[in-house]
Structure 1
């Protein structure tokens, strides 16, 4: 697919993994070089990626977004651990016959990315962790009541999304309104909605990940790939200090916080974040 194609126009494809699951995915950008695989946030599907960000990432590289097992249009049942989600992500990558990839994991997708890098290090060249935290970190056993209330109910609303993903400043709220308009910009071929089963399984995984266990923190010292860790400076879902904690554990890593931004910083600052990702991935 050419780089001129826009994410809103990319058709959804499917591929069957060795686990029998049919994975739904969208792929765009020049299919040269190392692909960048995107790992999505809590309850997110293919349509929840900001098209402006994906377009910017795919301007010069092969970008692949997918629904993991049981999520939206992919078949199967969503597992309740990030370890299993990582195994399922590896199966998807293998189904596309890719030998080496870069990973960009956002929110719970960043937890999956950590597990993929630990489980199959030979598959991963570089990693971008957006709004991340290490397993076992204190204070991560579930999200603040207002956050899980905003995005964890059976029926979610735009106002809840804005509250969880953006700050209350005029600039951030304006960016949030743009993102909301963009992610609902596709009129045909939209992805299926995520189910209540997916919501519960993913939040069970969050609770397991966030159970305090200082011994688990040391696992990240085994990640040897270069890692770019990013967050908004006012993320209320996964606090920015977890980015610094994660970086302190991964030998080859660095942190950037984006100003006046919350959990959705990578959408609010789509152009700047994409440029930073390109610089990181292109560096020798």
Structure 2
């Protein structure tokens, strides 16, 4: 069988950390510079990243994806708080021997990224928050019923995935089915272990705690020192786009971009444009 290049052919690797966890990860792109570490969405594992996006990011930089504790092939039990997920992610970065990284968090991964930037500010140079919201924001206590009904079940159908991550337009739906093909059919060997039902429940517990309204918690983001790129689709029904503007107003050095005719999965639908925007931001 012909070997696949890029993220589809990236080998699964593991590393042991001081917290007793063995982390599963993949790493592609030119090494020697500052790595870009990625934090995936709700219930996601190494295979839930669109390889088109990862390859576009890895054209210019060292890109690292990983399974946090209890997720996919990483050992341990998934914690039920964003704070502990952040601590666990820091332990992974430390195990790799990295002193400074750029950090990109997507959805629940963006919540974790915020916590890492606050808890270990010296570790993160720049921050990219995709499909995000701040802790304690009103209206964020769990996903809307149609979203958790589609994406929170033991099995998600292609139609439900497209509904949750893309808009109702023909163009966005077509893009969604293209993403599904790349994610689920592109890599046929050495796929990551699927996420468990326990991971689903623990992560949703964490989402509910994160989204419990508390206006006082919004003030925490004034302490984020890193330049921050906040991005989302203009029609995200899972994490509404106005949260992007809210979080950018709370972080001192942040700006927002909303991508047209796209939703939660905008970074896959607009993979080339988003990757170019990330490169421009990180290189500035």
Q: TM-score range by the shorter chain?
A: over 0.9
Query: Could you tell me which residue of structure 2 aligns to residue 122 of structure 1?
Result: 122
Query: Could you tell me which residue of structure 1 aligns to residue 205 of structure 2?
Result: 204
Query: Could you tell me which residue of structure 1 aligns to residue 216 of structure 2?
Result: 215
CA distance, structure 1, for counterparts of residue 203 and residue 160 of structure 2: 18
1:91 aligns with 2:91: yes
Question: For each residue in 1:241-283, what CA deviation from the matched residue of structure 2 results, as whole angstroms up to 9, or x when unmatched?
Answer: 0000000000000000000000000000000000000000000
Query: Could you tell me which residue of structure 2 aligns to residue 8 of structure 1?
Result: 8
CA distance, structure 1, for counterparts of residue 259 and residue 41 of structure 2: 18
| Deviation, structure 1 residue 31 | 0.4
Runs ≥4 residues deviating over 4 A: none
Query: Could you tell me which residue of structure 2 aligns to residue 154 of structure 1?
Result: 154
CA distance, structure 1, for counterparts of residue 275 and residue 170 of structure 2: 23
Tell me the TM-score normalised to structure 2 length: 0.98
Please give the secondary structure, in 1, of the residue aligned with 2:248. Answer: helix
Indicate if the aligned counterparts of 1:5 and 1:28 stay in contact, CA closer than 8 A.
Answer: no
After superposition, residues 222-261 of structure 1 pair within 5 angstroms as 222-261=223-262
Query: Could you tell me which residue of structure 1 aligns to residue 107 of structure 2?
Result: 107
Tell me the TM-score normalised to structure 1 length: 0.98
| Deviation, structure 1 residue 240 | 0.2
| Deviation, structure 1 residue 158 | 1.1
Give the total of aligned pairs. Answer: 280
Query: Could you tell me which residue of structure 2 aligns to residue 142 of structure 1?
Result: 142
- What RMSD over aligned residues (CA atoms) do the two structures have, in Å? 0.8
**Gaps in structure 1 of 5+ consecutive residues:** none
**Gaps in structure 2 of 5+ consecutive residues:** none
CA distance, structure 2, for counterparts of residue 101 and residue 182 of structure 1: 27
Query: Could you tell me which residue of structure 2 aligns to residue 163 of structure 1?
Result: 163
Question: For each residue in 1:56-98, what CA deviation from the matched residue of structure 2 results, as whole angstroms up to 9, or x when unmatched?
Answer: 0000100000000000100000000000000000000000000
Please give the secondary structure, in 2, of the residue aligned with 1:171. Answer: helix
CA distance, structure 2, for counterparts of residue 276 and residue 32 of structure 1: 22
After superposition, residues 264-275 of structure 1 pair within 5 angstroms as 264-275=265-276
Indicate if the aligned counterparts of 1:5 and 1:29 stay in contact, CA closer than 8 A.
Answer: no
Query: Could you tell me which residue of structure 2 aligns to residue 178 of structure 1?
Result: 178
Query: Could you tell me which residue of structure 1 aligns to residue 189 of structure 2?
Result: 188
Indicate if the aligned counterparts of 1:23 and 1:66 stay in contact, CA closer than 8 A.
Answer: yes
| Deviation, structure 1 residue 5 | 4.0
Please give the secondary structure, in 2, of the residue aligned with 1:132. Answer: coil
CA distance, structure 2, for counterparts of residue 89 and residue 79 of structure 1: 12
CA distance, structure 1, for counterparts of residue 28 and residue 204 of structure 2: 30
